[in-house]
Amino acid sequence: MWQLYQFPLCPFSRKVRLLLGEKGVAYDLIRESPWQMRDEFLDLNPAGTTPVMVDEDTNATLIDSQAICEYFEETVERFPLISGTAAGRAEIRRLVAFFDQSFYGDIVAPLLHERMKKRLVERAPPDARILREAMKRANTHMDYMDYLLDHRSWMAGGTMSLADIAAAAHVSVADYLGGIDWSSHEPVKRWYAGFKSRPSFRPLLSERMEVIAPPAHYEKPDF
């Protein structure tokens, strides 16, 4: 059985969990707080990041959310998530990188720092200016996602792909932390409402990070 080292608000672990859920791969969760820089965890992954997956039986270790997703895409045929032509696969990977880097760096990382790390580690209040800036950027990113969904059924084309999973993972963490204003983003809202109802997503939405409560609409498929 695979073990997945993660914490509830890690967007990269959510991305992996959504893929594993769609592919029907079983795993146990192991709680890891990477900001504590536990020696045993750094021995496992010198980069000190979640998610990490370890196969209890073979001791195989997988590190980095994209390397993990590519691994299960290559080894589990069910529900291909990086499929199509080489150009189509490049478009899926472009958008995954876009969400993992731009959406994460502009929105999710500052929200996590201000609303989670400051509370858990520094016991300091969030910086309202940084939160406002992150929410403004979220609005710009959601405009771009609206544009994509005005032209395509799913983020990267005609079928659901890892791009949708990466987007949903990051949006869900930003939404948990109160960073998303859902008014005037109908296409993304419709896409996300559908995603919220997926069996792969339900367990994630019901989990809570200690001391931080999500907004009332967070878990509702109809919001």
Q: Residue numbers of the site for a second copy (CB under 8 A)?
A: 46-47, 60, 62-64, 66-68, 70-71, 74-75, 86-87, 89-90, 93-94, 97-98, 101-102, 144
For the CB of residue 60, give the shortest distance to a second copy in the complex, in Å: 6
Cα 110 from Cα 121, distance rounded (Å)? 15
Q: How far is the CB of 13 from a second copy (least distance, A)?
A: 15
Instruction: State which residue, 3 or 208, has the beta carbon closest to a second copy.
Output: 3
Q: Which amino acid is at 96?
A: V
Q: Which residue number, 106 or 133, has a Cβ lying nearer to a second copy?
A: 106
| 209 closest CA partner among 118, 116, 127, 122 | 116
Residues with Cβ within 8 Å of 188's Cβ and at least 6 positions away in sequence, in order, are 142, 145, 146, 149, 171
Closest approach, Cβ 180 to a second copy, in A, equals 19
Cβ proximity to a second copy: between 22 and 73 the closer is 73
Of 70 and 133, CB closest to a second copy = 70
In whole angstroms, the minimum distance from the beta carbon of 206 to a second copy comes to 30
| Whole-number Å distance between alpha carbons of 166 and 95 | 8
CA–CA gap between residue 138 and residue 161 (Å, rounded): 22
Residue nearer to a second copy on the CB measure, 71 or 218: 71
Query: Could you check whether the bond before residue 126 is cis, i.e. omega within 30 degrees of 0?
Result: no
For the bound state, the minimum distance from the C-beta of residue 63 to a second copy, rounded and expressed in Å, comes to 4
The DSSP 8-state label assigned to residue 108 in this structure reads I
